[in-house]
């Protein structure tokens, strides 16, 4: 009976699991292929460590393809550095001190991606579903709207373009 209930839906979300950097990197390629804006929660301290040189390469390529990334990030030295380079990398960042972000989350198109850069090996789970993505985007937008804008001094941004 439970199996019948489970199989009754014709519109099940698609769930894909990625493990290790080689597979997780496919998500970043997908973002570039989709060419849609991305919103999410990020912890730049961990993503930079795991992604290595691809960290900057991806930001440059995303900006080159005119794909805006709006991030709610844990307030760290690395996050404040990302804020300094926001214009160059077509990124908007707001910082939060409300807690430790132990996973990253990206929303683009009908996709929701949870990434765990802290696990060993790293992994990600992608859910593809229009309704779930829309709900998550509403939750993200509500959090974004409640965070203050970051204002940098002229010295911090004058040589970035």
Mean pLDDT, each 10-residue run in order, the chain (161 residues): 57 92 93 95 79 84 95 88 80 88 91 91 95 96 93 48 39
Report the pLDDT value the prediction gives residue 9, as an integer from 0 to 100: 59
What count of Cα atoms within 13 Å lies in the side-chain half-sphere of residue 126? 19
Q: What is the pLDDT of residue 14?
A: 94
Whole-structure pTM value: 0.82
SS3 label, residue 56: helix
What local confidence, expressed as pLDDT, does residue 156 receive? Answer: 46
Q: What are the structure tokens assigned to 60, written together? A: 């440059």
pLDDT value, residue 142: 97
Query: What residues have CB less than 8 Å from 111, skipping those under 6 apart?
Result: 30, 34, 126, 127, 128, 133
């Amino acid at each position: 009976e439970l199996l019948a209930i489970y199989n009754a839906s014709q519109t099940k979300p698609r769930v894909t699991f990625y493990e290790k950097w080689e597979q997780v990197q496919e998500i970043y390629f997908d973002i570039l292929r989709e060419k849609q804006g991305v919103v999410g929660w990020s912890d730049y301290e961990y993503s930079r460590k795991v992604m290595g040189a691809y960290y900057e390469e991806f930001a440059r390529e995303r900006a080159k393809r005119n794909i805006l990334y709006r991030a709610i990030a844990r307030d760290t030295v690395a996050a404040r550095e990302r804020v300094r380079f926001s214009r160059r990398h077509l990124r908007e960042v707001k910082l939060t001190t409300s807690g430790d972000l132990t996973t990253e989350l990206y929303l683009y198109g009908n996709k929701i991606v949870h990434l765990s850069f802290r696990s060993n090996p790293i992994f990600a789970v992608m859910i593809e579903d229009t309704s779930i993505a829309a709900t998550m985007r509403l939750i993200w937008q509500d959090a974004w709207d409640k965070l203050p804008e970051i204002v940098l001094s002229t010295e911090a941004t004058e040589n970035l373009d």
